[in-house]
Amino acid sequence: MNKKLTFKERLHNAKAAQTVEEFKARHAYLHGAGYSREEWDYLWYDSPNTTWAHQFGRMVGYKEVYTNSVRHMDRQMITDKMDLMESFPELEGHDVRSVCSGGCHALTSDVIEVADDGKSARSFYLTPGTLMGPIGFDGKGRGGIWLWERYGSDFVFEDGRWWWFHEQVCPDLAGDYDRGNWAHDRYIDYLDKDISIGEVGGMPAELSEPGLIHADNNIVQCVQNTVPVPEPYKTLDDNNTYSPGRCDPSGKITVKTDESKKQISGPYNGDEFNPFANLKVHDE
pLDDT higher than threshold 50 for residue 273: no
**What percent of the chain has a predicted confidence (pLDDT) above 70?**
85
Q: How far is CA 92 from CA 17, 73, 86, 97, 100, in A?
A: 41, 20, 10, 12, 12
Look over the chain and give the mean of its residue pLDDT values, rounded to a whole number.
84
What is the pTM (predicted TM-score) of this model?
Answer: 0.88
pLDDT digits (tens, 9 = 90+) for 189-209: 778 877 766 665 667 888 999
pLDDT higher than threshold 50 for residue 283: yes
What pLDDT score does 184 carry?
81
Residue scoring higher pLDDT (16 or 198): 16
Q: Domain 7-175+198-273 is of which CATH architecture?
A: Roll (3.10)
Which of 44-48, 76-80, 141-145, 179-183 has the largest mean confidence?
44-48
Q: How far is CA 129 from CA 7, 92, 115, in A?
A: 38, 27, 29
In this structure, are residues 109 and 125 in contact, taking their beta carbons and an 8 Å threshold?
yes
Cβ neighbour number for residue 242 with a 10 Å cutoff = 24
What pLDDT score does 157 carry?
98
pLDDT digits (tens, 9 = 90+) for 27-43: 998 888 888 899 999 99
What pLDDT score does 153 carry?
98
pLDDT band at 229 (very low <50, low <70, confident <90, very high): very high
pLDDT higher than threshold 90 for residue 227: yes
Three-state SS sequence of the chain: CCCCCCHHHHHHHHHHHHHHHHHHHHHHHHHHHCCHHHHHHHHECCCCCCEEEECCEEEECHHHHHHHHHHHHHHHHHHHHHHHHHHCHHHCCCCCCCCCCEEEECCEEEEEEECCCCCEEEEEEEEEEEEEECCCCCCCCCEEEEEEEEEEEEEEEECCEEEEEEEEEEEEEEEECCCCCHHHHHHHHHHCCCCCCCCCCCCCCEECEECCCCCCCECCECCCCCCCCCCCCCCCCCCCCCCCCCCCCCCCCCCCCCHHHCEECCCCCHHHHCCCCCCCCCCC
Determine the residue type at 127.
Answer: T
pLDDT band at 238 (very low <50, low <70, confident <90, very high): very high
